[in-house]
């Protein structure tokens, strides 16, 4: 009996055949995707990539794909990293080297919804999630008073300005270090209310001129960069929502600072919309292929 096409092949499914582990670096526009993890009947990152790999490699069903982090619906990635185990020697007779062939063939199947930017065979003990040293996210805010064009909502959050960038950066500095981020994270319903300890290696806001005229005249682009060893669910969007509320004068700076390290999110703003968020870098040791995307190994992530 063949494996149903909706079910990912587990490690035990592949145990009877020789496999090699591959690292794939991915980019995707999350606007029309229902997040990273597979969901029956819905378009997701691993669902699309798994189906494409199954067709290219000739599997009965999609293989198990493990990522550096799970992005929510509507969140983008310029440098997601995954690993997948594929049958050994599947492209041994091809004239084109296996990594190049894999990238070209899978991207042809994906037709632009997700893109493989890099592929390589790696060691069997490489793990996209547990081998990662850090993750880097970027959030974009358009600082403009005029109503935004619809297309800008897919990659940024439009907020009336000017925002108090100094206050927002003071809060970014408070978030750095190791804290309990329960107030800024969403946990599954029914999960125990235990501390969610995360280490933020660096965080900062910068203001940039809208030189390509995406927004209305006078628009500025605020960019929030944050690097952590790992993140919990909605952590970046919750931090951005709170910091922007402070920058707009709608929330007290001291209240937000007090919530870092506490369990209560009473009084905090709602999380920022997903469209402004993108995973832009994941750090790995050189033996695992080095960082994907933005290389912050020489900066915050030491």
Beta strands in the chain, from DSSP E residues, in sequence order: 19-28, 65-67, 76-87, 114-122, 134-143, 157-159, 177-180, 197-209, 220-228, 277-283, 292-293
For residue 199, CA distances in Å to 74, 113, 175, 191 come to: 25, 32, 9, 21
Asked if 142 and 288 touch (Cβ cutoff 8 Å), the reply is: no
DSSP state of 261: T
- Nearest CA among 108, 21, 126, 111 for reference residue 63: 21
Please tell me the distance from the alpha carbon of residue 208 to that of residue 218, in angstroms, as a whole number: 11
- Nearest CA among 214, 242, 84 for reference residue 144: 214
Told to judge if 72 belongs to the known catalytic residues of this protein, a careful annotator would answer yes
Q: Which residues pair with 282 in a beta bridge?
A: 135, 292
Question: Which of 25, 32, 60, 72 is labelled catalytic?
Answer: 72
Helix (H/G/I), strand (E/B), else coil: 64: coil
Q: List, by residue number, the catalytic residues.
A: 72
């Amino acid at each position: 009996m063949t494996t149903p096409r909706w079910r990912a092949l587990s490690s035990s499914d592949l145990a009877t055949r020789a496999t090699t582990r591959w690292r794939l670096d991915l980019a995707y526009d999350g606007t029309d995707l229902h997040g990273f993890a597979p969901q029956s009947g819905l378009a997701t990152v691993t669902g699309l990539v798994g189906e494409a790999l199954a067709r290219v490699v000739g599997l009965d069903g999609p293989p198990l794909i493990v990522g550096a982090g799970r992005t929510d619906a509507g969140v983008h990635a310029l440098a997601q990293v995954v690993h997948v185990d594929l049958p050994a020697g599947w492209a041994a007779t091809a004239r084109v080297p296996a990594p190049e062939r894999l990238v070209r063939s899978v991207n042809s199947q994906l037709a632009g919804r997700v893109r493989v930017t890099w592929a390589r065979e790696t060691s069997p003990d490489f793990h996209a999630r547990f081998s990662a040293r850090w993750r880097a996210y970027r959030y974009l805010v358009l600082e403009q008073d005029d109503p935004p064009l619809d297309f800008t909502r897919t990659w940024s959050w439009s907020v009336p300005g000017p925002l108090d960038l100094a206050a927002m950066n003071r809060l970014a500095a408070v978030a750095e270090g190791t804290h309990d981020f329960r107030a800024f994270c969403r946990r599954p319903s029914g999960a125990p209310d235990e501390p969610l300890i995360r280490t933020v290696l660096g965080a900062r806001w910068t203001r940039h001129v809208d030189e390509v005229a995406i927004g209305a005249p006078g628009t500025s682009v605020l960019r929030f960069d944050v690097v952590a060893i790992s993140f919990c669910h909605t952590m970046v969007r919750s931090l951005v929502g709170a910091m922007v509320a402070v920058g707009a004068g709608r929330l007290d700076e001291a209240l937000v600072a007090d919530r870092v390290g506490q369990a209560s999110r009473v009084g905090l703003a709602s999380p920022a919309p997903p469209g402004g968020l993108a995973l832009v870098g994941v750090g790995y040791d050189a033996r695992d292929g080095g960082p994907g995307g933005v290389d912050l190994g020489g900066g915050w992530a030491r």
